[in-house]
């Protein structure tokens, strides 16, 4: 038997492989950072053999509460992923199984590779509605892609979506895939109505280097991009620097920053109620957005979520807070679970790539619902 992780988003450390199928592993820290949680590895040579895979340091990772009621994702072909029954006892995450084939992959969540990213971007530009722009380079010199959907024009609102600031939150890019499919469907009445009133700007993966490296939250110089928005730099956080420069040049009327949450088994949003300029106008937009999404998508709810920031206490280094204040606009962080949606559980797949795609499609309804209430930027 062999464990390997020398591939796109691979991340694991082998402690020991013993007779009898015992496999002991550890999750390494992010590149030049103290975060750890993401894993992705391949088990080969174990067909028909009973195996017990144990991640010994799970209780020492960044979000140990994320392992409660969590089941590991697995696949034989890297296309169809399912959940393996998993336990978390005394700080150790473990699963037992007998592989049906000689090669089997395991991951914290269904990966979204750089190759898939490039394919999605190239496919999007096949639509007459979409243009691809390279707005800068990552720390390691990779292109930062921005998709422009619709025709920019005076008076049109500017809708932004950014995703995967935290590279291990791969459900965020699956969400973007669904959103793009919906927005680029030329016969879809909701998308057509949105594009009559707005132009849409999408950065599908803010942290490409960290995604390839198999990091949870950091890029490859150790920066947590979602804490860089107050003062980004070309040296430490060029991904944010270039995105913010585009937003300043174009303007922002609505921002959706797409993430995943390790602990909470729900889909929810986090608003900007703690920013200095928060007022009844922003509160009204937030409430209308949430009410519309709940009315059109049973996978979304507004009961289980983060505690609200007290007035004036928002962390301004966070994307949604910085943009909400900078442009006095509706600015939401969208969170999806690594585990399952506890209100609509699926024992075989949990929360999955397919469900993330469908949630991404559904967000067009609340977007359309609030467009008519957004005040022109001055």
* Per-residue pLDDT at 21: 96
pLDDT tens-digit series, residues 331-356: 999 999 999 999 999 999 999 999 99
- Confirm if 150 and 199 have CB atoms less than 8 A apart: yes
The neighbour count for residue 312, using CB atoms within 10 Å, is 9
pLDDT tens-digit series, residues 200-228: 999 999 999 999 999 999 999 999 999 99
* Per-residue pLDDT at 47: 98
- Confirm if 64 and 119 have CB atoms less than 8 A apart: no
Residue 222 forms beta bridges with which residues?
none
Report, as residue numbers or ranges, the catalytic residues.
335
> pLDDT-derived band of residue 377, with 50, 70 and 90 as boundaries?
confident
* Per-residue pLDDT at 378: 66
CA 36 – CA 353 distance, rounded (Å): 22
Residue 44 forms beta bridges with which residues?
2, 103
Residue 81 forms beta bridges with which residues?
75
CA 205 – CA 146 distance, rounded (Å): 9
pLDDT tens-digit series, residues 260-275: 999 999 999 999 999 9
């Amino acid at each position: 038997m062999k464990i390997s992780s020398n591939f796109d988003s691979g991340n694991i450390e082998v402690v020991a492989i013993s007779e009898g199928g015992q496999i002991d592993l550890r999750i390494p820290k992010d590149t030049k950072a103290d975060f750890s949680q993401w894993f992705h590895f391949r088990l080969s040579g174990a067909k028909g053999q009973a195996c017990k895979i144990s991640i010994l340091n799970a209780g020492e990772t960044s979000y140990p509460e994320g392992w409660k009621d969590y089941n590991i994702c697995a696949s034989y072909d890297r296309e169809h992923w399912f959940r393996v029954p998993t336990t978390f006892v005394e700080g150790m995450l473990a699963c037992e199984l007998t592989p049906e084939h000689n090669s089997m992959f395991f991951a914290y969540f269904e990966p979204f590779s750089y190759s898939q990213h490039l394919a999605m971007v190239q496919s999007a530009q096949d639509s007459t509605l979409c243009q691809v722009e390279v707005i800068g380079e990552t720390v390691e010199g990779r292109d930062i892609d921005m998709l422009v959907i619709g025709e920019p024009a005076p008076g049109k609102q500017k809708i932004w979506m950014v995703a995967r600031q935290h590279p291990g939150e791969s459900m965020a890019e699956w969400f973007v895939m669904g959103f793009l499919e919906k927005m680029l469907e030329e016969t879809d009445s909701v998308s057509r109505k949105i594009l009559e009133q707005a132009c849409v700007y999408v950065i599908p993966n803010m942290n490409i280097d960290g995604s390839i490296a198999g990091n949870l939250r950091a890029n490859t110089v150790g920066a947590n991009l979602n804490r860089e928005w107050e003062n980004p730099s070309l040296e430490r956080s060029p991904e944010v620097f270039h995105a913010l420069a585009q937003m300043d040049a174009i303007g922002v009327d609505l921002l959706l920053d797409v993430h995943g949450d390790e602990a909470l088994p729900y889909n929810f949003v986090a608003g900007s109620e703690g920013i200095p300029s928060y007022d009844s106008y922003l509160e009204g937009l937030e409430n209308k957005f949430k009410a519309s999404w709940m009315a059109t998508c049973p996978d979304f709810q507004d009961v289980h979520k983060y505690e609200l920031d007290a007035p004036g206490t928002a962390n301004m280094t966070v994307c949604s807070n910085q943009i909400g204040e900078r442009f006095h606009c509706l600015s939401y962080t969208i969170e999806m679970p690594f585990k399952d949606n506890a209100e609509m559980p699926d024992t075989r797949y949990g929360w999955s790539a397919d469900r993330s795609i469908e949630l991404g499609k559904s967000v067009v309804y609340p977007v359309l619902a609030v467009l008519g209430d957004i005040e022109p930027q001055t």
